[in-house]
Amino acid sequence: MHTLPKGHPMNALGTQVAFTLPLTLPLVLAIAAPRPNWFHPVLMITLGAHYLPFVLMYGMWQFGALSGLLIGTGLVVALCIPRPMRTGAWLTAALLFTFALIGRQVAARDLPRRRDS
């Protein structure tokens, strides 16, 4: 698993990033109030933006790919699918599950290298 050493200055950033998504929920709800079908696509976009700092923090480009896919897919679902309510939720779940498996593989591959260091 990619972790930062104790006392690393990026540890504080990790804590701050953890709070960004819950703090954007009022914005998501305000956007979705007049257009309920946009709830999941807007949440996909904010979730994608939430993952961007993880690229720098953990040195894993995979978080950038996940972020881009969530943001891009959220935009496509909101603007191109007439009733996107469930579509956004299912696509988000599929992307998060897929990237969890990818992240696990990357961490497992890097673990022996970190033990040797």
- The residue ranges of every structural domain in the chain are 24-116
pLDDT for the residue 2: 57
pLDDT for the residue 4: 67
39-78 b/e (C-beta count within 10 Å ≥ 16 → b): bbbbbbbbbbbbbbbbbebbebebbeebbebbbebbebbb
pLDDT for the residue 1: 44
pLDDT for the residue 84: 67
The pTM of the full predicted model, rounded to 2 decimals, is 0.84
DSSP 3-state helix, strand, coil percentages of the chain (rounded to 5)? 85, 0, 15
- Per-block mean pLDDT, blocks of 10 residues, the chain (117 long): 70 83 94 92 95 87 95 94 84 96 88 60
pLDDT for the residue 92: 95
Residue in the structure block whose two tokens are 């956004």: 88
